[in-house]
Each structure stands twice: as C-alpha cells, then as structure tokens.
Chain A
Amino acid sequence: MSSQPQIAIDKVAHVYRPPRGRPVLALEEISLQVQQREFVALLGPSGCGKSTLLYLIGGFLPVEKGSITVNGEPVKAPGPDRGIVFQHFALFPWKTVRDNILYGLERKTMPRAEREEQAQHFIDLVGLGGFEDSYPSQLSGGMKQRTALARTLAFDPSILLMDEPFGALDAQTRHLMQAELLSIWQRTPKTVIFVTHDVQEAVYLADRVAVMSARPGRIKTIVDTKFDKKDAGIFKSKGFVEKVDELWNLVRDEAIKAERRAP
C-alpha cells in the first residue's frame, strides 16, 4: 500500500454562517487519513457534522480552516473522481430513473449504446428494473435511494462518499445492497467513506470505523474492524459481536452528550 494517503484531512474546521441567526461551529479540528482502496465508516450522533465533512471532501463547501488533499492535491471544486450519494438523494425530479442515471455518463467519452447498457446494468443491480421510465415523484423512499446509489455508482468514481446510503431501505434490501457494494468495492479499486448510524453495518463493511464526537464534530476514536466478509457466520462470531458492542458504547456516550447539550 502506498505511504501517501489518498485522502488527507488535516485539522479541518467548518462554520456555517446562516444569513439570519448565529453561526454554527459544525466541525472542529477534524483530522483523518484514508488510504487508497480503504473502506472507512463514519459513526456519530445526529448533527455532529458527518454530512458536512463529506461536503468538504466533495468540494461542495469551501475548506476555510485546515486542509483536505486528495491524491496530494488540495480540494478546490467538485469533480467526478469523488462520487457522492446524498443523504436526501438529490435526484433530478424532471428526469426519469434512467435519465438520472445517464446524466453522469453523458459526460464520459463512450458510445451511446455502451452508456445505455451501463445505465441498465446499474438499474438492474439495485433492483429497479421495470421502473426505468418512472419519475422520482412516483417512487418510494427506498426506490429513490437506490436510484441515487445507481446514479453515483454508474459514473464509476474512484472515491465514493456515501451519506447514509442505505438509510431508507428495509432490512432485506439493505443486506442485498451491502453485499453489492462490497462486491463492487472488491472488484474495482475504490476508496469509500461511508456514513451510517448502523453500528453493525459499519463494522461489517468497513476496514476502519471513525467515531465522531457530538457537535462540534471531532474524530473521537478510530477502531480497526477488518473481518473476513466472505464468512457467512461473521455476524455471530465473537470478535464481531465484541467490536459492535465496543463501538455501540462509544457512540451511545456521544449521543447522550449531544442530547444533554441540546437546548
């Protein structure tokens, strides 16, 4: 593995300044390094700045304090090398499922037929076959989320920033999607930063889990969670259960703090 991390976040802070109302310190001194092909999960109480951190890495919000580099270059603007799956999907409501997914592919130099094929592949992958021509307003929450997932996977970014990408899915679909994500990650060289509230999901998917503190967000601890994903009995193995329990306690402490601090 290369010594230089692919994503280097160094003492980053972020303040939201709403036009009316007081400024909000969302992140304070976040530092995190992610290696190429690594799968890192972010856990933390609601409002601790997980989405904000992804927006900063994605280049959607300006880095005002500290620095974020991707492949050694400071992040300045959004780009298709860092694909994001938004927490609230951000689908284009005037485009059908197929056209939403095609949007990222249209800017790639590939023949039209191949583009369509690629789109169809990901539509089938997320189980939306038969709904290609539906508009987002005609889909359920889980279907919208799967469309958003397919849209980002389709343009094949080398870095995936995923903001609770399975949050709206039922348990069964969630398991299927987790397996798909893992197999894509194992087949193609991708670095993943994955925000979730589900501790078990984090331990199962990630190589490392970063636990964030209540707002203003900092990285509280980073826990190694490398398990053999092919092992069918992993969810019941002692090591796995203990890791989940350990992380659960860390997250709960922060959630209680966040609760107390709330006005």
Chain B
Amino acid sequence: MARTDALTLDHAALLEGPAPSLARKLLWGFARVFSILALIVAWEGLARSGAFTPFVLPSLSSVIERIWSDAISGELAINTGLTVYRALVGFLISMVGGVLIGVAMSRNAIANWFFDPIVSVGFPMPKIAFLPVVILWLGVYDVAKITIIVVDAIFPVIAATLIAIRSVERELIWSARNMGANDRELMWQIVLPAAAPQVLTGLQVALPLSMIVAVVAEMLMGGYGLGGAMMTASRFADSRGVFAGIVEIAIVGYVLIKAMSILRRRLLIWHQEANEPTTA
C-alpha cells in the first residue's frame, strides 16, 4: 500500500510550529517566577524598612551572605549532603520496598491478607509519632533517621503500585499472553510498564515526603544535617542561621522535585501527557 499517511517535507514550515517571539518568551519566563520574586522583594523591603529588628527578620541579602560563608567553610556541603543522602536513601528503600510489597499484594492472596490492614491503618497515621520508638530501638544516628523516613514514604508507593497494577487493562494482559508471554515476562514487560505512570505518581509523593521527614527527624534527633543545623542555630539565637536553613531547604526540595518531574517526562515519553505542551 502507498504511504498515504507519511508527511511530505514541503510542509517544513508547518512542521516547525509557531515560533514564540523573544519578548513573549521573556515575559512568560518572568511570569512564571513572579510570585517568588514578589516574595523576595517583600522580604528584603520589610527587613530593611526597620519595622522588624534583624533578629526577628534578617534581610535576605544578609541570609545569602551567611549561606555563602557556610559554603566556603564547607559546612553547607556537609549539612546539605547529609540531609539529601538520608532523604534519598530512605526514598530509594521506600521505592524498592513499596513496589515489591505492592506487586506481592496484587499477586498473592496471603501477602494481600497480611499487608492490606497495615496499609489501611498505617497510611493515614502520622508516622512521625513512631519517632520515640525508633529512637529507643535504633538510637539517633543514620539508621534511625532513614528508618523513620522509610516508615513514612513507603505507604504512598505501596498504595500507588497496588492501584496501578489492579487497573492494568485486561486486554493488554491477554494480548501479551496471546503472543506467548510467560508469567515473568508478563510482569516485567507488560504489567510494570503499564503501571508505570501511576507508580511514578506515587514516587512523586514519596520524594518530598522523604525530604520533609529527613529534616523533621534531624530537628528532633539533632546532629549534622539541615534540620539539625537549624535547631542548633535556633538554640544559639542565631536567626540568620535559622533563615539560611529555610532558604536551603526550599532550594534543595525544589531541585529534587524538578529532577523527579524531568525523570518522569523521560520515562513516559510514550504517554499521552508527553505529547502535550509543558506547563511546568
């Protein structure tokens, strides 16, 4: 049959798509960060207006100076590195464990019988309440901090995996079976890829959760890390140090979430959503 559907190339101009003007691009770029810029300007303006003492509200510029000096002394790298390390290790354990438990629950009645009540009761619970128990059992070092992160972040992964696998269209599975796929191939080549969008959504919930719990655990358990450093600063009435911590946490959180959404777009290149223009 002739290639009636193939595009001919004299439509090159059409294929290029509308080119947004430079002014439009700049305006759009500015609009997207407007609220953040407004907040920054308001902070700096308020701090300099004299309405607050520098102790209550240090100016943003002085906070940035502080971050800079921490960066030079190496303190920033240690604290950020430790927090991100704990959050990411906790996240990765939650990812692997959550997907495994979700898969097991979807395939095995005994696993489902065992885990289902735990997930139902555990998911809505504030898991940070287990912190005293974790401290009793595991102390206050990395193992304890990562444990409490996993206890929190694993639930959205389990729930997303379970729902994702259950909602895989039966015709996709039949189709693969028809072409001779065995149980293992079915799981790895069909069920998990089909479930990927929803599993990734679960992971996108688990990642910021890991970061939040990492900081909170550090605040409550002490030691190095962004949360610990903020508590120390607070104890020593070092308000610039406290605000520096907030700015650092905001930036680290943003970078992590952005990285995750880039990863999602990469992985789901085949998905309908990848065909639509970006909004974020």
Contact = CB atoms under 8 A, between A and B. Distances in A.
B216 interface: no
Contacts of A55: 174
B169 interface: yes
A78 B190 contact: no
A79 B178 CA distance: 5
Given A79-B180, A103-B179, A135-B269, 5 more contacts: A60-B178, A83-B178, A107-B180, A127-B2, A128-B5
A255 interface: no
B270 A129 contact: no
A126 interface: yes
B196 A176 contact: no
Nearest to A60: B174
Classify the interface of chain A: helix, strand, loop or mixed.
loop
Interface string A134-160: 011110000100000001100100000
A92 interface: yes
B25 interface: no
Closest 6 CB pairs of A and B: A130-B6, A127-B1, A104-B179, A90-B171, A78-B177, A135-B270
Contacts of B190: 92
Interface in B1-37: 1-7
A107 B186 CA distance: 13
Contacts of B169: 90
A86 interface: yes
B184 interface: no
Nearest to B273: A137
A193 interface: no
A127 to B, nearest CB: 4
A80 interface: yes
B108 interface: no
Interface residues of B, number: 29
B179 A90 contact: no
A127 B196 contact: no
Contact of A60 (B6, B177, B179): B177
A95 B177 CA distance: 16
9 contacts: A58-B178, A79-B178, A96-B270, A103-B189, A127-B4, A131-B6, A136-B270, A152-B178, A176-B1
A138 B4 CA distance: 16
A126 B1 CA distance: 7
B3 to A, nearest CB: 5
A85 B150 CA distance: 44
B6 to A, nearest CB: 4
A118 to B, nearest CB: 14
Most A-side CB within 10 Å, residue of B7, B171, B179, B180: B179
B187 interface: no
